[in-house]
Structure 1
Amino acid sequence: MQTERGQAMLERVQTICSELPEVDQIVDGFGHDVMKVRGKTFIMMGEGHNSEHPSLSVKATKEQQFLLLEQGGYVKTPYIGHHGWVSVDMAVGPNWDELTDIIQEAYLLAAPKRLVKQVLESVAK
């Protein structure tokens, strides 16, 4: 992330993900900052050359995707949206309280059962 807005977004996502076990951050071959759990991607962030806004895409089920698209503030992620991925409509701006829950749900979709159980048990306490 090169811009101030991109850096701020990345830092917020890193803070949210710091609460989740075994999250790795990498930069993929396209220059996206990617959050993974056990090798499975659940968040992608980037800055396009022709866009004034950074992008933030999150793994979701197709049902979650449908509901998020209906409520507004989200769009189907190009190229991978048919798998359920959604992107924050940055022209509207992220709702970080809601996005925190969505990121945690994305993590649970990607994480192995052992980590899902660990997270759910820590929330129940």
Structure 2
Amino acid sequence: MIHNQHIKSELGQDIIFQVREISNPFPEVEEQIDKFGHTSFRIKDKPFVIIGESEKGLASLAIKTLKTTQSFLLNQQDRFFKTPYIGQHGWTSLHIGKSLDWKEIEGLIKEAYLQTAPKKIVAAFRSMENPE
């Protein structure tokens, strides 16, 4: 697994660390760096979180959301925006500041994972989360 090859800023590194801490317990998650230098967290080669960084060192965090969730989040215009190029597919990005609500982000990442993962993996995750 390749880590942090292209994200260089301290804030970008912190975002990767936090997303990794949230995502690693989910079954079959893989972390990859694409040809654009984005770090993505994937299930069966489908991304559910993408972290990038501009040439100026500004970090970005995009999460795959349900359309209803995206609509709700976009109403909070000061915090969220439709991800360029892929927003029409439900991707929502956060305006990155020094303080992020990681509890809220954790819920969004979990939703993204569950919507992206195949049904068998979701069922296994649900049974792991709620053992009888």
Instruction: Name the residue aligned to 1:17.
Output: 23
Matched, 1:54 2:56: no
TM-score (norm 1): 0.92
Matched, 1:71 2:76: yes
Aligned-residue offset at 1:89: 1.1
**Which structure's residues are more often helix, by fraction?**
1
Distance 1:60 1:33 in 2: 18
Aligned residues of 1:24 and 1:36 also touching (Cα < 8 A): yes
Aligned-residue offset at 1:19: 1.2
Instruction: Name the residue aligned to 1:110.
Output: 116
Gaps of 5+ in 2: 1-6
Distance 2:106 2:116 in 1: 16
Coordinate RMSD, CA, aligned: 1.4
Distance 1:88 1:120 in 2: 27
Aligned with residue 3 of structure 1, among 9, 27, 48: 9
Count of aligned pairs between the two proteins = 124
Distance 1:106 1:18 in 2: 14
Aligned residues of 1:76 and 1:87 also touching (Cα < 8 A): yes
Aligned-residue offset at 1:92: 7.5
Q: Secondary structure at the match of 1:115?
A: helix
4+ residue runs over 6 A deviation: none
Bigger mean CA offset, 85-94 vs 15-24: 85-94
Aligned-residue offset at 1:93: 4.4
Aligned residues of 1:69 and 1:76 also touching (Cα < 8 A): yes
Could you tell me which amino acid in structure 2 is paired with residue 101 of structure 1? G
Gaps of 5+ in 1: none
Deviations 1:76-121 (A, max 9, x none): 1001001110001114742100000100110011101011111112
